[in-house]
Amino acid sequence: MDGRLLHVFDMDGTLLRNTSAALEIAARLDCLDELRSLEAEFAAGAIDTRGFAAALYGLWRELTPAVVAETFDAAPWIGGLAEVLADIRGRGDRAVVVTMSPDFFATRLRGLGVDDVVASAFPPPPFRSAPDPAGILVPEDKVTAVDRLRTALGLDRDSCVAYGDSGSDVPLFSVLRHTVAVNASPALRALAGAGYEGDDLRAAYALGRELRARTRANGHGRAVHRLTR
């Protein structure tokens, strides 16, 4: 391998601080109560990501491209995002966002410098049809997506660094060696190679690069000890 890295970012709760694309859109459309009820059902296991997506189609019939753009621009993105993406590109590395949120929102991250975006496939707003369940991602799809991207780039799993915050990141964190929990749940923090709490992605990114450097310096196996910042 030539030393290049693939940095894999979750969006909701990681790049978006303490919120999600769905919550931000629901706030704009004045349907937050309905969205929170859906999230409670999802958390309880009453619906899966595909049932959640179908319900969003019903809630968001008034959604327009202009509302999506306004919501994206006003969203609380984590500090240092632009600087991190610029550094990744400057080093010749790649940045990818893999999220179960709608693609019509997540793909706008390409305009900030993300190289690739993998997200749940929705019809473009305003909706004229329901989303195809086959295009809605589940957590295990994050592993498949990263393996597909890294293989296309000629990279192995040890050349990947993942950043996430919640249960949807568990499958990916379970197969990658270099993982950073960002403002994360206790379960994901316990699984991650490093942990960060705060509002500066540059610090989390530095931890990810340090994990990779330590592994290379020490040969095989996980990084020597867990890093926190």
pLDDT higher than 60, residue 8: yes
pLDDT higher than 80, residue 100: yes
Percentage of the chain beyond pLDDT 90 is 88
Structure tokens at 28: 């704009």
Q: What DSSP character marks residue 1?
A: -
- How far apart are the C-alpha atoms of 184 and 104, rounded to whole Å? 25
Please report the pLDDT score of residue 216 as a whole number: 76
Rounded to two decimals, the pTM is: 0.93
Domain boundaries along the sequence of the chain: 6-17+77-228, 21-73
Fold for the domain defined by 6-17+77-228:
Rossmann fold (3.40.50)
User: Do 213 and 197 touch, CB atoms closer than 8 A?
Assistant: no
How does pLDDT run across 168-224, given as a tens digit for each residue? Answer: 999 999 999 999 999 999 999 999 999 999 999 999 999 999 999 988 777 654 443
